[in-house]
Structure 1
């Protein structure tokens, strides 16, 4: 799908932001003003191409009534944010959300910049919280399981957070992985919602844990500030016009490993295409190439540059129908709809009326990939998982269909039935000051598809023991396949 941007990088062009919460968080809006917000939500969502993909109109209307009731009675920005986020999650669209990267700075400061961060990096293994790195000073080993936080089982904490997680359709693995805390984003989804719903008492968390050797214990650990969290972040910020490469390339035993934590290139001065082409051209004599996409939600269609080098003919995939739900946006809504491309307001004018309120724009163009030489003749593996839900989902689908890349890991994010994206409105609500992202193009499969992501060719899922031992079974499986591949 063409240039599908991820939640981290849908930066609004409007919405001037001030530096302190007091500057815009005026006196609490009235009930009437908050009801006006929800009226804007209701009318704007009539433009959403995937609103009824997994819900009936009656279900959506019933949920809008609940949202209106809870939002109007909220009494605080926290409650308004939670109510709106939970409603957006119920649409079951991975690109519809209250995007932390698109909120005004005052809202960010009020809601997300709180000293409430749990002092661990962790993953969920079979819905068990497993430490990847301890930042608490307790010396908890990698692979330690956090059993309790403030007396609550961590599995129960996760269950309380999942209603706020965005994902496409029934792809619950994507919802769970969002609530991991790997410290790869500026705003971690777990940090946001846990900090609002389950903040620490007096800045301290009481935890219970079990170490990899089976010992149990308890401790009090101080919550981290946002600044402390970011000092140990694992990935570079890709925006801001940076020209610094944020992919890494490593050769080991004649196998190249290309780690790509993001494909968002629209605001970068880095010439990624030349960088990638130089390295692909240097692969002569290598045993194979491994692409590590496990932390990559998407962005630009960078993966097409690799697929184009692996074939001896142009690649053509059965693309998805692109549908929108309006000819032109209602003029009375335009003041609330920010976007980077004014043509999005009239995107349906040239569409073909196909009934049921839809206008078809055609079949996605990016599903034809022209071949680029010289061809690479070597085994290529890609490591994928539930984070891969936008352009990386599309890459996984094409890799699986073409057979040019062997997939290792876990089911991808996204959904084979189609995802919504390609263009967005950033909807700004005047009473609360909150924003939500609304995709405007729905991609719909031409033939019936399963309600899931892309399955890997080789399923590999790490265990708690793997984490404790520092093993990467997915990488190991891909290397083993490459080394044993006949040449």
Structure 2
């Protein structure tokens, strides 16, 4: 079941707003949304909902205080900040902040149909018509869907409505759920959702005054906010040929052997994709590693960039094939919100276990089961890790099934992860509330992204040579 893949560059993301479907006539939706935006909550309603949210997180998130002993102190401060009536968006910002204080990335913060978000779908919210790249504390234009075509890809945005880009980024990050103190995942999330996050968490202006820099020259331009419909129309009119999207089993993985170097790209283990292509983790890995054995490959590059996980067996079942020596003990323990624990013993080393050098390519969106694989490659396969800090806490994280709660006054639905996965102490990395730290850190510039460079792959191939 081998698949062929060319060495590829980093995968870049923009949100596809066209997938949001209208579910009631637009006239009715508009009236409802205008009413909801104007709606306010009393301070007692806000406090009731936030306290309900805090109590639910405490009830269902089993590792909450293990990783965050000051959660109650910090959330109490949020409650004390509520001293008057609040708009929908101000209320939602506080709910987001409380979720973020749990320091777990597997939360679901509302949906497109709730009172805070539905204005995006029904075209009553006007927001920033740009996709951007957030690199550290800098913002760069990526796709301009505004009525004005002045801003170009690669322009650095220095300020928006008089506020410096670095300050804007710093103000938005506290609202984004992420494991521990991992900034790479938050920055990736901010890149993917910057326009609508700016609307939710910063301001809702009718226009945006940008100060920007192009080739060292500073300029200014003002563009008007647009609805999703306006966004989409401009985007469709200007877009160039879209890159070819993966189809078939290549949506899940790709595998290629070139000489004595193999590249295994593990993309997505989402249940729907795995079931659609009728894939079984153990059988898949057996076929791949049998090819590695017969082809006498000496170096294996495992590309986990932007793999945000899915079916957990695609992480666990890889261990026997990448172990460098037989081991004893546990490789993880799970605990449910009810306190039920389950231990997972290290499996036997498979006869097809790869005995060559392993290189793992990772980034901030190497997450959940994707980050589990990265950990296993490091701990049991002695892999050389290349890229940036992964998005999931190295010592463990909350995930598994989700407890859905509805905030009493707003009706906003929050999903709380209710299983904790804990890993045994590591001899290779002793950190707290951090992701897997790379052996070779890679940092992209906007020029690298525009030129579609693949720096992680370049480093890996350079080390192999």
- Common fold: TM-score over 0.5: yes
Going from structure 1 to structure 2, the CA distance change for 1:139 and 1:399 (only over 3 Å counts) comes to farther
1:474 alignment partner, one of 450, 453, 456: 456
Report if the CA contact (8 A) 1:393-1:414 is conserved.
Answer: yes
Aligned partner of residue 133 in structure 2, secondary structure: strand
Alignment match, 1:4: none
Alignment match, 1:49: 62
Report if the CA contact (8 A) 1:422-1:440 is conserved.
Answer: yes
Alignment match, 1:192: 196
- After superposition, the C-alpha distances for 1:111-147 in whole angstroms (9 at most, x for unaligned) are 67644144133131x3111344555574756543221
Aligned partner of residue 173 in structure 1, secondary structure: helix
Q: 1:130 aligned to 2:140?
A: yes
- After superposition, the C-alpha distances for 1:277-297 in whole angstroms (9 at most, x for unaligned) are 656655526564433322222
Aligned partner of residue 104 in structure 2, secondary structure: coil
Report if the CA contact (8 A) 2:252-2:267 is conserved.
Answer: yes
What aligned pairs does 1:33-432 form with structure 2 within 5 A after superposition? 33-47=45-59, 48-56=61-69, 60-61=72-73, 63-64=75-76, 66-67=78-79, 70=82, 73-100=84-111, 104=113, 108-110=117-119, 114-124=125-135, 126-136=136-146, 138=149, 142-181=153-192, 188=193, 190-199=194-203, 201-202=205-206, 204-211=207-214, 213-221=215-223, 223=225, 225-226=227-228, 228=231, 245-247=250-252, 249=254, 251=256, 253-254=258-259, 255-266=261-272, 268-273=275-280, 281-283=290-292, 284=295, 288-301=299-312, 302-311=314-323, 318-324=330-336, 347-348=338-339, 351=340, 361-363=341-343, 365=344, 368-372=346-350, 374-432=352-410
Deviates more, 1:61-70 or 1:380-389: 61-70
Report if the CA contact (8 A) 2:185-2:365 is conserved.
Answer: yes
Separation of aligned partners in 1, 2:120 and 2:387? 35
Give the deviation of 1:432 after TM superposition.
0.5
Separation of aligned partners in 2, 1:64 and 1:235? 49
Report if the CA contact (8 A) 1:78-1:111 is conserved.
Answer: no
The alignment's TM-score, normalised by the length of structure 2, stands at 0.74
Aligned partner of residue 309 in structure 1, secondary structure: helix
Give the deviation of 1:478 after TM superposition.
1.3
Separation of aligned partners in 1, 2:328 and 2:32? 53
Alignment match, 1:8: none
Separation of aligned partners in 1, 2:118 and 2:353? 50
Going from structure 1 to structure 2, the CA distance change for 1:134 and 1:454 (only over 3 Å counts) comes to same
Going from structure 1 to structure 2, the CA distance change for 1:149 and 1:481 (only over 3 Å counts) comes to same
RMSD of equivalent CA atoms: 3.9
The alignment's TM-score, normalised by the length of structure 1, stands at 0.71
Question: How many residues were matched structurally?
Answer: 415
Give the deviation of 1:313 after TM superposition.
6.4
- After superposition, the C-alpha distances for 1:165-212 in whole angstroms (9 at most, x for unaligned) are 22222223333332123xxxxxx3x3332122345643x43322223x
Aligned partner of residue 177 in structure 2, secondary structure: coil
Aligned partner of residue 322 in structure 2, secondary structure: coil
Going from structure 1 to structure 2, the CA distance change for 1:251 and 1:426 (only over 3 Å counts) comes to same
Separation of aligned partners in 2, 1:198 and 1:234? 32
Gaps of 5+ in 1: 1-16, 182-187, 326-346, 352-360
Separation of aligned partners in 1, 2:356 and 2:69? 48
Aligned partner of residue 360 in structure 2, secondary structure: strand
Alignment match, 1:440: 418
Give the deviation of 1:61 after TM superposition.
4.9
Separation of aligned partners in 1, 2:302 and 2:213? 34
Separation of aligned partners in 2, 1:317 and 1:406? 23
Going from structure 1 to structure 2, the CA distance change for 1:161 and 1:30 (only over 3 Å counts) comes to closer
Deviates more, 1:38-47 or 1:439-448: 439-448
Give the deviation of 1:304 after TM superposition.
3.9
